[in-house]
Structure 1
Amino acid sequence: MTVANASSRNEHAPRISCIVCAYDEAPRIAAVLKVAAAHPMLAELIVVDDGSTDNTAEVVRQFPSVRLIERATNGGKSLAIADGIAAAQCEFLMLLDADLKGLSPDNLSALAAPVLSGRAEVSMSLRQNSLLIFRALGIDFVSGERVVRKTLLETVLADIQRLPRFGIEVFMNRRIIERRLRIAVIHWPHVTQARKTEKLGYWQGVRAEWRMITDLLKAIYPLALISQTLRLLSLRITEGRAPFAARMSRASTTPR
């Protein structure tokens, strides 16, 4: 093999560790793993089972290529992500939620491409059922699907371990803003995330959603949240479909 051929092959070699954190996701996680485990851009797939009380771990074991980390007790998403980062071997991290529906290989390719090509330092998904205000703005500041360099997070694992249970996305946002990293927002028009009311039933799901919101507010005050969202927007690059608000504006000015 010539040096040139070796260099070209290395450029296209998988350099992404994919981390999926799960708590009681046995009915849903297989759909995500079927896509991620077979994707050629992912060098490794790590699932952190955050103390599940169902058979999530047994479902994961059906995928021999997946590395399973089992936490003895449920510590929350921030701790689970920290465990996944500590185990990851690659230059880039892809973070995926375990309860996605409609996920395709093209979605993962689109999420990875801007970061691997250098057009952006961070990519985030914008799902079909993201909140309307997020779709209107063109960014979901708590998106659980991201690609980042491992160096953004591996040096601050102790800080991540001290976060509230659901503080990891806000924490990442702060580091992105501090470093003024370019963000690519990738629209996933056919992908949704299972709501807690769907998983747990209406009232139990509402309580779980409220606990998550309360936990989020421990990580960032409401006014700071607005400021953070606007600052993230200022770092967004043009990538894929135009933001919802821009499309609506163009539609309103188009002659009929």
Structure 2
Amino acid sequence: MKQNLEVTNLTIPGRKKPYVMAHRGNNVLCPENTMAAFIQSFQDGADILETDLQLSKDDQFICIHDGSIDRTTDGTGLVSDFTAKELKQFSAFYGRDDFKSERIPFLTELAAILPPNVALALELKSDRFLEDETCQRLIDLLTKTGIRDRTFVISFSKERVLCLHRLAPDISAGLITMSGFSPDPEMQIIGPFWPLVFLNPFYIRQVRKNKQIACPLDPSPDKRLWIYEKMKVDAVLTDNPQKTCKLIRKYDQ
């Protein structure tokens, strides 16, 4: 049985690596970044849930990838042009009629259902996270909802995650990168585009030397899963945690 956990800088105690990180929940079986996708990923056995954060017009933290609602809902416009209440009028069904009742989740709603044995990776999508005030409000929310000790932040923007990490050094910062042949030493978590770790066989070795966590950016990892296990990466990102969890269990037999 999985243990309750804390995300403490470089490890997730009580868990067997590689950890399975659900990319926007299970976005193969459900529309991405919906409560249905999140709950499905918990049922699948994911160790970490990854989701994205934008801000509404009234400064609420919203779990949605894009800056607009056009792609994933039946509405149009920027997330920041709507209040949180107004965003709830749109279906987040992503064109899938059997999920028309799904709505864009708020971080507070996700925090309320996050199991105690699942960690949370928040991708900071907005430049609002360059503001100390915004970062502090997020820190306060994580503290109030009781999930701060198992949450870390990631982004393609080093400046966003460092802004928050400087205010809360106990919340680990991760950088997602599409280029570069060595990990950034300022980060606790490294998310390199997956070909980088194959082009440079010393990449993961350097991550180890730096005492960092490695999670390649590879939402469809299953064909390369056995290689990641040999590399001893810390976590694998996946669009379909159900399938990936089954494969990892198979390899462990």
Structure 1 length normalisation: TM-score? 0.24
1 or 2, which has the higher helix percentage?
A: 1
Structure 2 length normalisation: TM-score? 0.24
- Structure number, greater radius of gyration: 1
